[in-house]
Structure 1
Amino acid sequence: MKILIVTQYYFPENFKSNDLSFELAKRGYDVTVLTGIPNYPEGKIFEGYGFFNKRKETIQNVKVIRSLLLPRGNGGGLRLFLNYYSFAFFASVKAFFLGFKNKYDAVIVHEPSPITQFYPALLLKKIWQTPVYFWVMDLWPESLAIAGGVKNKWILKYYENVVTNFYHHSAKILITSKGFRKSINEKGDFDSKITYFPNWAEDSISEGDKTYPIPNLPEGFRVMFAGNIGEAQDLDNIMKAVAELKEYSNIKFILVGDGRKMPFVKDFIEENQLHGTVHIAGRFPVEVMASFFDKADVMLVTLKDDPIFNLTVPAKVQAYMSASKPIITMLNGEGADNIAEAKCGFSVDAGDYQGLAKTILEASKTPKSELEKMGRNSRKFYEENFRMSECITNLEQILKANK
Structure 2
Amino acid sequence: MAMLELDGLTVSYGDLTAVDGVSLRVAEGELCCLLGPSGSGKSTVLRAISGFETPTGGRVLLDGVDVTDLPPNERDTSMVFQDWALFPQQSVQENVEFGLRVAGVDAAEREARARETLELVEMDGYEDSRPGQLSGGQKQRVALARSLVVDPDLLLLDEPLSSLDRRLRETMQLELKRIHDRVGTTMLYVTHDQDEAFTLGDRLGVMDGGELVQVDTPETVYDDPTDRFVESFLGTTNFVECTVTDGRAPTLSTPFGVAFDAPVDGSGLEPDDAVTVSLRPERLAFAPAAEAEREMTPQTAGDGGESAVSVVATVEETVYRGADLRVRLSAGDADLFVEPSVASAPNVEPGDRLAVRFTPSDALYFDASGARCR
Hey, which of these two has a bigger chunk of strand by percent? 2
TM-score by shorter chain over 0.5: no
Bigger-Rg structure (1/2): 2
Instruction: State the TM-score, normalized to the length of structure 1.
Output: 0.26
Hey, which of these two has a bigger chunk of helix by percent? 1
Question: Greater RCO between the two (CA within 8 Å, min separation 6)?
Answer: 2
